[in-house]
C-alpha cells in the first residue's frame, strides 16, 4: 500500500491509499480492517493502473481521516520494519555459510520471525541515502542470537525436538 498526500482546496489536503491488486503488501488487510473497524468510508474508491500495476485507490479528505492517518502510517511502518528485518536476518544467516538454522521451511520461518522480534528496536533502523528506511544489524549478533535460539529449550526451534543443526 502507498499513502499519497496531496494538496486540495484552501488549507486542505487529500489522502490517497493505493493498494496494488497484483501484489498485495503485508499491511494491506490490516489497513482495510482498521478502516472498516472505524467506519471510515472513502470519498472515492476505484481501480486503475498506477505505475504499471493494477491498483485500487481510496481517496479521503485529510480532515476526515485526521488522527487515523497516523495509525495507518504506523501499521505500514510496522509491516515494512518486519520485511526489512526478515531480509537482513536471512542475509546474515546465509552469509554464515554453515547452516546456522538448518530447519524445515516452516520451522525456519518461525525461528526467523522470533529473531526479527528480538531485533525489532529503533537502533536496528537507519535512513538510507535515498531517504528510505534500512535495517542495519550486526551479523555476529544475528548468528549468536540464532545459535542461542537453536539451543534454547523454550525455543520454537530446538535442536532435539526440531532436527536443528547448530553451528
The model's pLDDT over 12-64, given as tens digits with 9 standing for 90+, comes to 899 999 999 999 888 999 999 999 999 999 999 999 999 899 999 999 999 89
Q: Using CA atoms, how far apart are residues 116 and 89, in angstroms rounded to an integer?
A: 7
- The backbone torsions φ and ψ at residue 134, rounded to the nearest 5 degrees and listed phi first, read -135, 135
Query: What residue spans define the domains of the chain?
Result: 2-66, 78-162
Most confident of 32-41, 98-107, 137-146: 32-41
pLDDT band at 97 (very low <50, low <70, confident <90, very high): low
End-to-end Cα spacing for the chain? 39
Gap between the Cα atoms of 89 and 14, Å rounded: 37
Q: What is the pLDDT of residue 162?
A: 37
Instruction: With cut-offs at 50, 70 and 90, classify the pLDDT of residue 158.
Output: very low
Task: Provide the sign of the torsion angle of the four alpha carbons 137, 143, 145, 149, taken in this order.
Answer: positive
pLDDT value at residue 100? 61
Does the pLDDT of residue 163 top 60, yes or no?
no
> What is residue 165's DSSP assignment?
B
Amino acid at each position: 500500500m502507498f499513502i499519497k498526500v496531496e494538496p486540495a482546496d484552501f488549507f486542505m489536503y487529500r489522502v490517497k491509499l493505493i493498494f496494488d491488486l497484483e501484489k498485495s503488501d503485508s499491511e494491506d488487510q490490516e489497513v482495510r480492517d482498521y478502516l472498516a473497524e472505524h467506519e471510515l468510508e472513502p470519498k472515492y474508491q476505484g481501480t486503475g493502473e498506477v505505475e504499471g500495476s493494477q491498483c485500487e485507490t481510496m481517496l479521503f479528505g485529510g480532515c476526515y481521516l485526521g488522527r487515523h492517518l497516523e495509525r495507518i502510517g504506523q501499521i505500514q511502518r510496522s509491516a515494512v520494519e518486519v520485511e526489512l528485518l526478515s531480509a537482513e536476518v536471512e542475509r546474515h544467516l546465509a552469509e554464515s555459510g554453515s547452516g546456522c538454522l538448518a530447519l524445515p521451511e516452516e520451522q525456519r520461518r518461525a525461528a526467523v520471525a522470533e529473531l526479527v522480534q528480538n531485533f525489532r528496536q529503533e537502533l536496528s533502523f537507519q535512513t538510507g541515502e535515498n531517504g528510505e528506511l534500512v535495517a542495519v544489524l550486526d551479523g555476529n549478533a544475528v548468528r549468536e542470537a540464532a545459535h542461542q535460539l537453536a539451543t534454547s529449550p523454550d525455543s520454537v526451534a530446538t535442536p532435539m525436538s526440531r532436527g536443528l543443526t547448530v553451528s
